[in-house]
Amino acid sequence: MHIAEGFLPLVWCVFWYLLAIPFVIWGARNVNRIYKDRPEQKLTLAVSGAFIFVLSSLKLPSVTGSSSHPTGTGLSAILYGPATTSLLSTIVLVFQALLLAHGGLTTLGADIFSMGVAGPAVGFFTFKLLRSMRVRTGIQVFAAVVLSDLVTYAVTALQLALAYPSAEGVQGSFVIFFGVFLVTQIPLAIAEGILFTIFFDYLSRSRPKLLAQQFGETK
């Protein structure tokens, strides 16, 4: 989902930067507060970030003949919300843009918005909604993680389509771009979903109090 360096017109670079920056600042405040008020959460926060590091650097081949990668943002989105996730994603994306020529500084704002804000936001609210409906925890987590992944790619496709409308307009090129992503992304999203469902289940068995505190469900 990284948009290549220099491949977004300047107007859109600025636009996505402006949308993404407030979330990153909000996220930095959240992290600060976790460090001050809830130091017992530090380790889980670090692990959420670590998953983004690992999963977003796993490039896997797929049927289309090109490769793609999971986003890894699902766990962090569920536990800490989109703002904090946008900060963690920013760290990963800056590293990839500067050292790996994967994504770029001009497209950083757009990438932070799709991977750090939009995907995790949808995942976060899906989780909240399903949790309030009291469906099984596994389903809450799986749906949230899969949507975090897929929505990220949908937003990237939208960002590209807005900058490059085809002859049939924005809609036409959105279908083209999202089509390219979707075939590679569905299996990855499912794999990511299973992985995080297992990890979340483990977490809720080993640290039930920590999770209850996080979700404000302490009795």
DSSP single-letter state for residue 166: B
**Positions in 2-31 near other proteins (CB under 8 A):** 2-7, 9-10
Q: Is 162 in the site for other proteins (CB under 8 A)?
A: no
Closest distance of CB 43 from other proteins, Å: 6
Q: Is 98 in the site for other proteins (CB under 8 A)?
A: yes
Q: Is 73 in the site for other proteins (CB under 8 A)?
A: no
Q: What is the chain's length? A: 219
**Positions in 26-55 near other proteins (CB under 8 A):** 43-44, 46-47, 49-54
Please choose, out of 29-37, 125-133, 144-152, 186-194, the segment that lies near other proteins by the rule CB under 8 A. Answer: 186-194
CB 79 within 8 A of CB 210: no
Q: Is 171 in the site for other proteins (CB under 8 A)?
A: no
Please choose, out of 23-31, 79-87, 95-103, 123-131, the segment that lies near other proteins by the rule CB under 8 A. Answer: 95-103
DSSP single-letter state for residue 188: H
Closest distance of CB 3 from other proteins, Å: 7
C-alpha neighbours within 13 Å on the C-beta side of residue 29: 8
Closest distance of CB 132 from other proteins, Å: 26
Q: Is 170 in the site for other proteins (CB under 8 A)?
A: no
> CA of 216: how far to CAs of 21, 145, 183, in Å?
27, 21, 38
Q: How many residues bind other proteins (CB under 8 A)?
A: 68
Please choose, out of 82-90, 114-122, 126-134, 199-207, the segment that lies near other proteins by the rule CB under 8 A. Answer: 199-207
116's CB contacts (< 8 A; 6+ apart) are 20, 23, 24, 27, 73, 82, 85, 86, 87, 88, 89, 90, 93
Q: Is 200 in the site for other proteins (CB under 8 A)?
A: no
Say how far apart CA 39 and CA 31 lie, in whole Å: 10
Closest distance of CB 20 from other proteins, Å: 18
Residue 208 CB neighbours (<10 A): 11
Say how far apart CA 119 and CA 13 lie, in whole Å: 19
Say how far apart CA 167 and CA 156 lie, in whole Å: 20
Residues that bind other proteins (CB under 8 A): 1-7, 9-10, 43-44, 46-47, 49-54, 57-69, 92, 95-106, 160, 164-166, 173, 176-177, 180-181, 184, 187-188, 190-191, 194-195, 197-198, 201-202, 205-207
